[in-house]
Amino acid sequence: MRIDVLTLFPEMFSGVLGSSILKRAADHVSDPADPHDPAKVRPPVVEYHLTNIRDYTDNKHNKVDRPPFGGGPGMVIQCQPVWDAVMAVEAQDARRATRILTSPQGEPLTQSIADELATHDRLLIIAGHYEGIDQRVIDKLAPIRKVSIGDYVLSGGELPAMVMIDSIVRLLPGALGDDTSTEHESFAAGADGLLDYPHYTKPRTWMDMEVPEVLLSGNHAAIEQWRKEQAMERTRQRRPDLLK
């Protein structure tokens, strides 16, 4: 998958895309059992391309935003730099990009939207900023999916873009060490839409607190049954809306 991000603040992305699973997904990864065999190197499962919208302004002051027509607070990003940036970036690769705009007015991001977006070859995410982007360029870029990460307002679309990228890239085959590890998480299809069950590891006793006995029993059917009950109980208590 290729992911393009158009933003006024590309520097915000380096820590997130350059660490942990998102970094590993963009790297060549050798097989730990055979680290010197080039045939066993897993190629990158994703490429990130960051573009600064400001690089595409056609005015000599490098301005990208102007006050809104009709008055009101804040500034509005102009059509021209956004349009030119999208056209230039899309021309860099023959794969057709699925266009996404981060916006608090978008459809709320859910696991099923992440699952669906993870099937695309190429995503182009525009991180909205300030009071917004001139509506005409958004209309002209149709079809463009507007996605929100929740009912609260952030100061820009960069964090939402990173949240979306994380939720998508970790689903790509080969991104996690073990491909089955996304199957039973909260909201995953394999978890029946329930919250995840609680997890425990060594030591067996910590501050006088014990690990639930069933997890030490070696009885896999009983463990599975216990986890199902825990997931159901947590969901009932914390997110009854998911059971409707």
- Which stretches of the chain bind ligand ADE, using CB under 6 A? 102-104, 128, 148-150, 152-154, 157, 160
Between 81 and 128, CB nearer to ligand ADE = 128
Between 54 and 145, CB nearer to ligand ADE = 145
Which regions of the chain does DSSP assign to beta strands (E)?
Answer: 2-7, 47-52, 65-66, 76-77, 98-108, 122-127, 132-133, 144-148, 205-206, 209-210
State in angstroms the smallest separation of the CB of 164 from ligand ADE: 9
Between 154 and 215, CB nearer to ligand ADE = 154
State in angstroms the smallest separation of the CB of 105 from ligand ADE: 9
State in angstroms the smallest separation of the CB of 108 from ligand ADE: 9
The strand pairing partners of 145, in sequence order, are 100
Could you check whether the bond before residue 68 is cis, i.e. omega within 30 degrees of 0?
Answer: no
Residue whose C-alpha is closest to residue 24's, from 49, 52, 48: 48
State in angstroms the smallest separation of the CB of 198 from ligand ADE: 29
Tokens of 42: 């897993």
For residue 150, the SS3 value is coil
Between 81 and 132, CB nearer to ligand ADE = 132
